[in-house]
Structure 1
Amino acid sequence: MDTLDQYILSVIASFPLKRKPAFLFAIVTGKRTGQAVQDAHLFEVTPLFGCLPTLRQRSFDARLAGLQELGWIEVTEDGIALVPGIASPFQTQFPYIDGFLYQNRTNRFFERLLLAIQVFSNFKHERKNYLPIVRDEETQLAVKYWLATHLAERSKEVVRADLFSELERWLMDADASLFVPRFSGGDYIGKTAFQVAELTGREPWNYYFAWLNGLHQLFGRLDQGFPLLAGLMPSAEEGLTTSARKTLQLAEQGVPFDKMMTVRHLKWSTIQDHIVEIAATIPAFDISEWVDEATVLRIGAHGWQSLKEIKQAFPELDYFQIRLALIAKRSGATCS
C-alpha cells in the first residue's frame, strides 16, 4: 500500500454509508458539485477534499480495482466501503492538509515562490539575463506586481533578507528537505518533485502529500509574521469555480442574488449552489440574509447522517438554509 492508497482509503472511511465511485472521484479531485461540497462539510471531509486535482479517472478506477483485489474495500451496486478492520493512517501522518480551503491555490503559491526565490537569488549573483524557472505568464505577472509593491518601499537587499528570514522561520518547523532542493538561483536549477522524492528516499506519492502538508502548515501561519510569503498567496476567490466567481463579482457590484437568475440566465437552484460554494470558500462572506448564528449553533451542536435527518429536526428550514448552516460551522462564514 502506498500513500495514494492510504489517501483513498481515508476518503472512503470518512463517509458512514457506501458511496459511488463517481462521487468519491469528485471528492478526491475537488469537483465542486453541490452534492460534493455539501457532503464534504456534513461529514467533515473537507481536509481531504480536492487533494488530487489532476488525477485521471482511469488512474482512480485502477486504484479502486487494486484495493478491491487486495481485500481492503468492498464494491457493490450500492457503492464502496472499507472492509471491516481496515484503517488508514493518512490523516495522522499529514495533519495539516486542508484540501478544500487551499484547493486551486497551493500550486499557484508554490510556483510564485519558486520564481520569487530565483529572482532574489539572481539579484545577489548580479545576474540580469536568465530564463525564469516558471514560464506561466500569470505567475510571472503576479510576482512582478509583488516585487513592485515591496521594492517601492525598501531596497532589494532588505526585501531579499526579509524573504529569506521568513523562509528560514517556516522551514525550521517544516521538513526543509522537501522544499529547498526545488529552489533555483545562480547556476543551480531546482530539482523536480520526482527527483527530490528519490533524493529523500520517499515514494513519489508520499513526497507529494508531505509537500502538500508542509505548505498547508505554512498557509495556516501566514498571518503570524510572514508578510512577504502572504503576498504570494492567491486570494480565496481563486479557489472558486469560474461560475461561482462570476456570481460573487455580481454580488460585489451590488446585484441582489435574487436578480442574478435574470442577469446570468441561471436557475435559482444554481445560484444557491454558488452561494453555498462562496460561503464555504470565503470566511468573510455574509450569509445572514438566509441563516442566523443561532441556527448555525443549533445544527452544529449535533452529528448528522444526512440533510433529511436535519430537515426532520428543523422543519422550518429549507434545504438551502440547512446547507448554509453546515457550511458556516466549518468555514466561519458571517451569519450575524
Structure 2
Amino acid sequence: MVFISILLTMFQHLHGERSAQGVYHILRGKRSGQTLQDVENYQLKPFYALFPKLSTDDYHRHIERLAAEGLIRIENQVVYVTDKGRKNMLHAPWRFNGWDYRGGEREFIKRLALTVQTLSYIRTGRTMFAPIQKELHIQQFVKEFLRGQTVSVDELAKKVHKELVQILSEAHLTDLQRTILSYRLTGVQLTAYTWEQIAEAVNSPVTSVQIYFLESLHIVLDFIGEHEDMPLMKSLASGCRVENYLTHSAERSRKLVQQGYSIEQIASLRNLKLSTIEDHMVEMAANVKTFPYQEFVTAEQIQKVWQQIDRLQTKRLRVLKEQCAELTYFQLRLIIIHGKQVDS
C-alpha cells in the first residue's frame, strides 16, 4: 500500500501528462534529458532515484494492480489518477529527498551500522568479530573514521550514542521510523533485525517497512546537514549528498559556456547535435542558480508562456507551442524551469 501511494502521488503530480514509463524512469534515477526535465517541471525531485533496482516486471505489476482496482485509468498510454485513487493516497506528505542523496543514504547507514557494531565490540575487549557490512570500501571508511578520532573508545562510543539520541529525539521521525532505525543497528548482545523480523514486530509489510526506513534516512541526513553540533554524524555522512547535479556530459558543456562559447559552437566543438546541447542547457537551468536566462528568453516571453500555463493548466510543450508559435521548444523548456516570477 505504501509503494502504491507513492505511485499515486507521482501520477497526481504529473497531471495526466506523462506515461507510466516516465514515473518508472524517475524512480530508477534515469539521467536522460526527458526524465530530468520531468523531475524539475512536476516537482518530483523527492522521488528521484528512490528505487534504482526496481525491475520493469515488478513495476508493471503494480501499474496493472492500480488499473484493475480502479485507482488509475490509462488512455493513450497516459496515466490519470481517479477519484478513488486520490482517496487512497496517504495524506501525510512524503519527506523523501531522493534528488540530493541518490543512494547515498544507503552508504551512510552502512557506515553508521558498522561503526556502532565496531565500537560495541571493542569496548568489551573483542577485536575479532564478523562485520555486519562485507563491502570493503565501507570497512575501509569506518577504519579511517575510527583512526581519525582522538578520544578513547569509551568516550567515542558515548559521543556517537549522544548524537544518535539527538537524532531520534529531534529529527521529527515517526515512532515507527525510530523503531525501524533502532532495529537495524547491531552490537555485542543485540543482532540487527532482518526486514522480515521488523515487519512482524511492527505489523507492516516488508516493502512498507523498507520504504519508511528509506524515508527516515533522508530525514536523518537532512537533519545532520542542518546541525553543526553533530561532528561524528557529519563525518559518517561525508560524500553522501550529491555535490554536482549535472551529468558528466552537461558538465563538459557548462565549462565551455563559462569560456564564452555559444551553444552552436559547443555543438560543433563536441561533435554533438544542437538538440543535445540544448538538453544540457536545460539541465544547467534546472541546477545552476546563476543560469543566464536573459541570453535565450525575454521577460515578456516568460510572462506570456506562464499566462498560457495558468490558463490551460498544462506544461505540455506541444500545447504551449500551439499558443506561442514564435518560440522554440528549447525556449519553452527554459521558461517552464524559470518559473513565472520575472525580475523587474
**TM-score interval for Structure 1 and Structure 2 normalised by the shorter chain:** 0.7 to 0.9
Trace 1:104-143 onto structure 2 (pairs within 5 A).
Answer: 104-143=103-142
The answer to whether 1:237 aligns with 2:242 is yes
The answer to whether 1:228 aligns with 2:232 is yes
- What is aligned with 1:171? 168
- What is aligned with 1:92? 91
* Contact 1:114/1:133 (8 A) holds in 2: yes
| Partner Cα distance (1:3, 1:132) in 2 | 32
Task: Select between 308-317 and 225-234 the one with higher mean Cα deviation.
Answer: 308-317
- What is aligned with 1:155? 152
Report sequence identity in percent. 22
| Distance change >3 Å, CA 265–CA 126, structure 1 → 2 | farther
Task: Select between 188-197 and 84-93 the one with higher mean Cα deviation.
Answer: 84-93
* Contact 1:307/1:322 (8 A) holds in 2: no
* Contact 1:104/1:239 (8 A) holds in 2: no
AA paired with 1:306?
K
- Partner of 1:119, secondary structure, is helix
The answer to whether 1:305 aligns with 2:304 is no
Q: Which of the pair has more CA radius of gyration?
A: 2
Q: TM-score, normalised by structure 1?
A: 0.77
Q: TM-score, normalised by structure 2?
A: 0.76
* Contact 1:6/1:88 (8 A) holds in 2: no
- Partner of 1:80, secondary structure, is strand
Q: Deviations over 1:145-164 (max 9, x none)?
A: 33333x1x433333322211
Shift of 1:26: 0.9
- What is aligned with 1:213? 215
Q: Deviations over 1:106-149 (max 9, x none)?
A: 21211111112112212222221112111112222332333333
| Distance change >3 Å, CA 16–CA 164, structure 1 → 2 | same
- What is aligned with 1:15? 14
* Contact 1:247/1:260 (8 A) holds in 2: no
| Partner Cα distance (1:126, 1:32) in 2 | 48
Q: Deviations over 1:59-106 (max 9, x none)?
A: 111111111111221123242212234315656335322222222212
> Any gaps of 5 or more consecutive residues in structure 2?
340-344
User: How many aligned positions are there?
Assistant: 320
- Partner of 2:120, secondary structure, is helix
- What is aligned with 1:334? none
> Any gaps of 5 or more consecutive residues in structure 1?
330-336
Task: Select between 15-24 and 159-168 the one with higher mean Cα deviation.
Answer: 15-24
| Partner Cα distance (2:125, 2:252) in 1 | 43
| Partner Cα distance (2:3, 2:98) in 1 | 15
- Partner of 1:81, secondary structure, is strand
- What is aligned with 2:190? 188
